[in-house]
């Protein structure tokens, strides 16, 4: 039965004198554009009763078109008074699905502040109040505070008694599929004639309240979906921006945005990512390029074993198993060693791990059969469907972003670094040389280039094999890198030939650095019978030089060092006088 039918039925119950009243439904536009208003056949209606009905229709119209839910519910309260009189104090609650509590959007007018505070924000469980009990039972519930059986906690009952309340009647507001929307509550004081609330009398207000709440829920759901789509679009775009940053600042910003969108503390939503350098998992934000992480991390083997284990939650019910399957997540007991490893500890309560809210939720981030990381939602965070849906939607996006990050980083490393030694390759060194030339011209600072190679390296390969030769190239790279300054740059120029860029260093000092490097190499034990030596040519940047001409002069000096006996450091010939 629709709203119009309810109003017509109520109209005919007003009295026998209205039996002759002829009414019809006329489809006209309301303020919101909906076609639903009922009008009267003016030729058959008496003016007084027509005014009564028109007033009620205006209430219906304002209720169904009001944009603010509290104002719409207030109109419904006014409509209730039209039917049952002013005897009751009327309040309307809405059900908060996230907190599972009833919150008063329209507080009972005339009820004391203490009593309102006692009944507001009540957890929906049987016996926690008449409104919560009616919500659980899905039917009208009444309690008389003069009787012994009171469906309210002691504090709540005392506050209502102190306010003079003798009877509390609560009717649940239900939507489609028996969904709890809220309650319509009536409070009676002792000085009032205690006539029970009639379901028929309140059929129209109940129907209007449910319809109004469902309408606002639908509007809010549409807005929430639009907000979610916008966030997912923003989230994906942010992950696509600078995904190769070594400090993972993009991922840090993204996870912080996710926590803010979910309205949970950042400490309760943590993301761990695979570190390709050692195969361990570390929290996002603890990586440092070319440095050891400030977090030792979790061994990849242990993490994969834990997440594939059936023992993360000892007592796994059928409900938990179905929830995990639906949202692709795992429940983790806070007393499990995995929880301790990621910094989450039990609260010490014996029963803490028997409640789902005291468990962590772990969302594995897998892409192409690789566990790229995992998200951990800490204990005591609400497990509402929209949050679980969001995390299960975000998980594959993050996993793909992490996999793309590793791929890009790997490709960049291959493009810029020598695979054997880990030094910059020729392409990167040329790029750095152009940068140093620009910097020298801008600030008038000198810099020099040292080009060296290993003496008789072919004999090393012939006598000891190419594996030993590769080991010596790697050891030489590490030795020279540890000898020069951190501001200097070393790279592999090709084969057994290496190049060093000495920033802000004139040629006379560069020759001294070259000899220091040569002596260290000669005295180092490379694991062969004879000492390993190098020959080196040094050149200083001159105005008008290009990267090619600068390296060419150092190469000529290297050639002279080899021709004059090897194991030498020679500066470029025809050096210009210094100013």
Q: What is the 3-state secondary structure (H, E, C) of 137-166?
A: HCCCEEEECCCCCCCCCHHHHHHHHHCCEE
CA distances from 429 to 417, 419, 448, 488, 544 (A): 10, 15, 13, 12, 19
Q: Burial-class residue 256 by CB neighbours within 10 Å (0-12, 13-18, 19+).
A: middle
CA distances from 575 to 507, 540, 559 (A): 9, 8, 16
Provide the phi-psi class of 279: left if phi over 0, else alpha when psi is between -120 and 50, else beta: left
What whole-number distance in Å separates Cα of residue 171 and Cα of residue 209? 11
Q: Per the structure block, which two tokens stand in for 505?
A: 């260093």
CA-wise closest residue to 173 among 184, 165, 162: 184
pLDDT given at position 337: 84
pLDDT given at position 313: 55
CB 24 within 8 A of CB 41: yes
pLDDT given at position 492: 97
CB 267 within 8 A of CB 245: no
CB 237 within 8 A of CB 401: no
Largest Cα span, the chain: 129
What crossing angle do the helices spanning 457-464 and 466-483 adopt, rounded to 10°? 130
CB 238 within 8 A of CB 254: yes
Instruction: Indicate the SS3 state at residue 215.
Output: helix
* 475-487 per-residue burial string, b: 16 or more CB within 10 A, e: under 16: bbbeebbebbeee
Going residue by residue through the chain (579 aa), what tens digit of pLDDT does each one get?
Answer: 444 454 445 444 444 333 333 333 333 333 334 433 344 444 434 454 555 556 666 666 666 666 788 888 888 888 888 777 777 899 999 998 878 899 999 999 889 999 999 999 999 999 999 999 999 999 999 888 877 678 888 899 999 998 888 889 999 999 888 899 999 999 988 655 555 566 677 787 888 888 888 888 888 888 888 988 888 888 888 787 655 554 567 788 888 889 888 888 888 888 998 888 788 898 886 544 333 333 467 888 888 888 887 656 555 677 777 778 888 888 888 888 888 888 876 654 444 445 666 788 899 999 888 899 999 988 877 667 788 889 999 999 989 988 888 888 888 888 999 999 999 999 999 999 999 999 999 999 999 999 999 999 999 999 999 999 999 999 999 999 999 999 999 999 999 999 999 999 999 999 999 999 999 999 999 999 999 999 999 999 999 999 999 999 999 999 999 999 999 999 998 765 554
Task: Work out whether strand 534-540 and strand 497-503 pair parallel, antiparallel, or are unpaired.
Answer: unpaired
Distance from the Cα of residue 37 to its chain's centroid:
46
Task: Work out whether strand 489-494 and strand 497-503 pair parallel, antiparallel, or are unpaired.
Answer: antiparallel
What whole-number distance in Å separates Cα of residue 151 and Cα of residue 172? 15
CA-wise closest residue to 309 among 282, 349, 339: 339
Q: Per the structure block, which two tokens stand in for 140?
A: 């009208």
Would you tell me how many other CB atoms lie within 10 Å of the CB of residue 326?
12
Q: Per the structure block, which two tokens stand in for 3?
A: 């709203």
pLDDT given at position 360: 85
What whole-number distance in Å separates Cα of residue 500 and Cα of residue 509? 14
- Spell out the alpha helix ranges (H) of 417-506: 426-443, 457-464, 466-483
What whole-number distance in Å separates Cα of residue 186 and Cα of residue 168? 6
Provide φ and ψ at 241, rounded to 5°: -90, 125
pLDDT given at position 524: 96
Question: What are the DSSP E strand ranges found in 409-563?
Answer: 447-454, 489-494, 497-503, 534-540
489: which residues sit within 8 A by CB, 6+ positions away?
424, 429, 432, 500, 501, 503
CA-wise closest residue to 478 among 535, 416, 423: 423
pLDDT given at position 54: 61
pTM metric for this prediction:
0.63
What crossing angle do the helices spanning 69-84 and 47-65 adopt, rounded to 10°? 150
Dihedral sign from CA coordinates of 278, 284, 289, 291: negative
Distance from the Cα of residue 178 to its chain's centroid:
32
pLDDT given at position 171: 93
Provide φ and ψ at 112, rounded to 5°: -60, 155
CB 263 within 8 A of CB 269: no
pLDDT given at position 427: 94
């Amino acid at each position: 039965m629709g709203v119009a039918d309810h109003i017509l039925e109520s109209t005919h119950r007003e009295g026998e004198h209205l039996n002759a009243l002829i009414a019809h439904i006329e489809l006209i536009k309301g303020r919101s554009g909906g076609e639903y208003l009922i009008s009267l056949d003016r030729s058959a209606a008496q003016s007084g009763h027509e005014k009564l009905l028109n007033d009620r229709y205006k209430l219906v119209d304002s209720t169904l078109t009001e944009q603010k839910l509290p104002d719409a519910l207030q109109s419904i309260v006014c409509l209730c008074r039209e039917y049952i009189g002013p005897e009751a104090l009327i309040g309307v609650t809405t059900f908060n699905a996230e907190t599972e509590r009833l919150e008063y959007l329209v507080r009972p007018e005339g009820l004391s502040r203490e009593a309102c505070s006692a009944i507001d924000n009540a957890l929906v469980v049987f016996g926690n109040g008449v409104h919560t009990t009616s919500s659980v039972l899905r039917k009208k519930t009444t309690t008389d505070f003069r009787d012994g059986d009171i469906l309210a906690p002691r504090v709540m009952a005392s506050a209502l008694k102190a306010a003079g309340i003798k009877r509390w009647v609560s009717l649940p507001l239900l939507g489609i599929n028996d969904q709890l929307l809220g309650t319509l509550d009536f409070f009676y004081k002792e000085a009032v004639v205690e006539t029970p609330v009639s379901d028929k009398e309140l059929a129209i207000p109940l129907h209007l309240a449910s319809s109004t709440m469902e309408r606002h829920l639908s509007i809010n759901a549409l807005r929430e979906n639009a907000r979610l789509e916008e966030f997912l679009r923003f989230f994906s775009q942010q992950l696509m921006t600078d995904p190769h940053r070594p400090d993972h600042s993009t991922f840090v910003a993204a996870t912080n945005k996710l926590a803010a969108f979910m309205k949970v503390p950042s400490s309760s939503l943590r993301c761990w990512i695979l570190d390709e350098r050692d195969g361990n998992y570390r929290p996002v934000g603890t990586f440092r390029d070319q440095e050891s992480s400030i977090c030792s991390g979790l061994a990849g083997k242990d993490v994969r074993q834990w997440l594939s284990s059936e023992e993360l939650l000892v007592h796994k019910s059928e409900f938990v198993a179905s929830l995990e399957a639906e949202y692709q997540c795992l429940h983790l007991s806070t007393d499990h060693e995995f929880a301790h490893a990621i910094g989450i500890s039990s609260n010490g309560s014996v029963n803490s791990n028997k409640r789902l809210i005291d468990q962590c939720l772990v969302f594995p981030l897998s892409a192409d059969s690789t566990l790229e990381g995992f998200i951990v939602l800490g204990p005591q965070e609400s497990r509402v469907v929209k949050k679980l849906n969001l995390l299960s939607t975000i998980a594959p996006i993050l996993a793909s972003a992490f996999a793309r990050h590793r791929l890009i980083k790997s490709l960049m490393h291959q493009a810029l670094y020598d695979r054997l030694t880990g030094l910059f390759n020729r392409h990167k060194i040329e790029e750095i040389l152009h940068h140093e030339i620009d910097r020298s011209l801008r600030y008038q600072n000198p810099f020099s280039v040292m080009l060296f190679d290993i003496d008789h390296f072919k004999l090393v390969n012939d006598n000891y094999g190419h594996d030993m030769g590769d080991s010596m190239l790697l050891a030489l790279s590490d030795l020279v890198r540890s000898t020069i300054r951190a501001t200097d740059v070393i790279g592999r120029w090709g084969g057994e030939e290496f190049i060093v860029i000495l920033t802000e260093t004139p040629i006379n000092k560069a020759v001294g650095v070259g000899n220091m490097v040569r002596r260290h190499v000669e005295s180092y034990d490379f694991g062969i019978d004879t000492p390993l030596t190098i020959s080196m040519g040094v050149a200083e940047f001159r105005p008008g030089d290009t990267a090619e001409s600068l390296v060419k002069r150092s190469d000529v000096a290297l050639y002279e060092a080899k021709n004059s006996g090897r194991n030498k450091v020679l500066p470029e010939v025809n050096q210009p006088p210094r100013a």
